[in-house]
Amino acid sequence: MSQAATAATAPQPGGEEEIIEGLIARARVAMEALADADQARVDEAVTALAWAIYEPTRARELAELAVKETGLGNVESKVIKNQRKTFGALRDLMRAKTVGVIAEDKAKGIVKYGKPVGVVAAVSPSTNPSATPVNKAMMAIKGANAVIIAPSPAGHAPTSKTVDYMRAELVKIGLPADLVQVLPAPVNKALTQGLMEACDLVVVTGSQNNVRRAYSSGTPAIGVGAGNVSVIVDSSADLKDAAAKITMSKIFDNSTSCSSENSLIILDDVYDDAIAALMENGGYRTSAEEKSKIQDTLWVDGHLNRHVIAKGADVFAVEAGLGEDAAKAAFFIVEDENPGPDTPFADEKLSLVLTVYRASDFDDAVAQFRKIMDVCGKGHSIGIHTKDMDHANRLAEELEVVRVLVNQAHTFGTGGSFTNGLEFTLSMGCGTWAGNSISENLNYRNFINVTHLVTEIPEDKPSEDELFGGHWSKFGK
């Protein structure tokens, strides 16, 4: 790998302010290489970034390094994530226009031009130290921007290696490596804060503390809300299909995803059969005593225990003293009732623990959804397994969430799928319900400014009667 490709991942001299000034300056110089680039050239850069992590040897190397350094998740899932998310995002990005004329509406006399937002600070979590940086870098470069990655301290090594690969691929196609940079080690809050204050746009995936700090940085910011996905298993559900999808989603990467199912609400008339189907797929139904052990292990002084979150079932079972049968399971079923702020199992667990509630009818199921979201996860996503689309429509109409997935494995659907229309991303906006500025999957549109060229059109002015007639006839003048 060339010296230019690795320069930004090496230790930087000087204090925090000097480090940030140097990174920003290099990013702005690098952006000049894309200032006059057409869409084809920008797309070459995006494809190069995708290949940096999609290449099979690197996808596995980075997955192994991520698990080794962070202790979170598992290698095989991260290999899939590195490749699947990147491939899907590349598909979406190759279909979009972001530079030059991006849209034209002749009837309204408007031509839209895509322009860069500038230098993007991309704050990334330890749960996805490779896939998220590449995902954000692809979107940023798609808008002809430069990006500086701010990794979590625990994920710095895999993130830095990922950035090295992205820089090398940019150099290979004749573009400046400094279009993608990373904060040098040791990363701390002050360094990340300095970057957020100096850049042109902050995009944060990770802790809600980081999201709040981004919003208060004085820089335009896009943050995401906390996950805590709940899913209804309806009376009409295909229980075999639902159990298989729920299991596949729950165990992926040891439940590190914010889209992983944290709770199920099962209708009473199918409850026993649904539990049986989950057990057939590897779920371990815990006793009251085991539930108590899990609670004491999973939460320590009110906080999630890093020794068991995102760990395999065998590790969790040993730590909680659950026994050999539990250690062989795929995940743990904990039955609970009356979700609320005083019941910790209603919260996000980031572990192979799946809380299950029994609902007397669909109204009760909806009410329990609301109670869970009042604890955590409002705005993010929910799901339902059903054959009754009226029930699915009701959830979309009534509940304060951005995404309602129907008959899908949440981890593979919420952030975009080849079998649904959501855009591929690792950052899910949750609307004002979660204090976010976007209510969609983070995508290329969030990384461009748009100039509107406006020309005159034939007058489009309705009469007073057309606009006020209905009001006058009903209420008078």
pLDDT of 222 strictly over 70: yes
Query: Span 365-381, mean pLDDT?
Result: 97
For residues 244 and 233, what is the distance between their CA atoms, to the nearest angstrom? 12
Structure tokens at 199: 């850049």
pLDDT tens string 50-87: 999 999 999 999 999 999 999 999 999 999 999 999 99
pLDDT of 10 strictly over 60: no
Distance of CA 41 to the CA centre of its chain: 28
Query: Span 290-305, mean pLDDT?
Result: 95
pLDDT of residue 207: 86
Instruction: Tell me if 120 sits within 8 A of 446, measured CB to CB.
Output: no
pLDDT of 3 strictly over 60: no
pLDDT of residue 174: 98
pLDDT of residue 446: 97
pTM confidence score? 0.94
Please count the CA atoms within 13 angstroms of the CA of 383 that sit on its side-chain side: 28
Q: Per-residue DSSP letters for 266-323?
A: EEGGGHHHHHHHHHHTTEEE--HHHHHHHHHHHEETTEE-TTTTT--HHHHHHHHT--
Confidence of residue 8 (pLDDT cuts 50, 70, 90): low
> Which residue's entry shows tokens 């350094």?
69
pLDDT of residue 1: 64
Exposure of 56 by Cβ count < 10 A (0-12 exposed, 13-18 middle, 19+ buried)? exposed
Confidence of residue 4 (pLDDT cuts 50, 70, 90): low
> Which residue's entry shows tokens 């895509």?
114
Query: Span 357-383, mean pLDDT?
Result: 97
CA end-to-end distance (rounded Å), the chain: 76
What is the number of other CB atoms lying within 10 angstroms of the CB of residue 419?
A: 7
What is the number of other CB atoms lying within 10 angstroms of the CB of residue 321?
A: 12
pLDDT of 352 strictly over 90: yes
pLDDT tens string 18-42: 999 999 999 999 999 999 999 999 9
> Which residue's entry shows tokens 């040993």?
318
pLDDT of residue 358: 98
Q: Which H helix or E strand runs over 14?
A: none
Is 376 a catalytic site residue? no
For residues 317 and 261, what is the distance between their CA atoms, to the nearest angstrom? 19
pLDDT of residue 388: 98
pLDDT of residue 11: 53
Q: Which residues contact 72 (CB under 8 A, 6 or more apart)?
A: 66, 126, 127, 254, 256, 309, 310
pLDDT tens string 401-435: 999 999 999 999 999 999 999 999 999 999 999 99
Q: What's the mean per-residue pLDDT of the chain?
A: 96
Percent share of the chain, pLDDT over 70: 97
Structure tokens at 206: 């990770």
Instruction: Tell me if 110 sits within 8 A of 452, measured CB to CB.
Output: yes
Confidence of residue 220 (pLDDT cuts 50, 70, 90): very high
For residues 429 and 226, what is the distance between their CA atoms, to the nearest angstrom? 10
**Residues 331, 257, 126, 436, Cα dihedral to 10°:** -150
pLDDT of 375 strictly over 70: yes
Q: Which of 199, 258, 376, 430 is catalytic?
A: 258
Confidence of residue 15 (pLDDT cuts 50, 70, 90): confident
Counting every residue written for the chain, the total comes to 477
pLDDT tens string 115-148: 999 999 999 999 999 999 999 999 999 999 999 9
SS3 31: helix
Amino acid, res. 406? V
Tell me the domains of the chain and their CATH numbers: 3-224+442-452 (3.40.605.10), 229-413 (3.40.309.10)
pLDDT of residue 14: 67
Q: Which residues contact 193 (CB under 8 A, 6 or more apart)?
A: 213, 217
Confidence of residue 9 (pLDDT cuts 50, 70, 90): low
Query: Span 309-338, mean pLDDT?
Result: 96
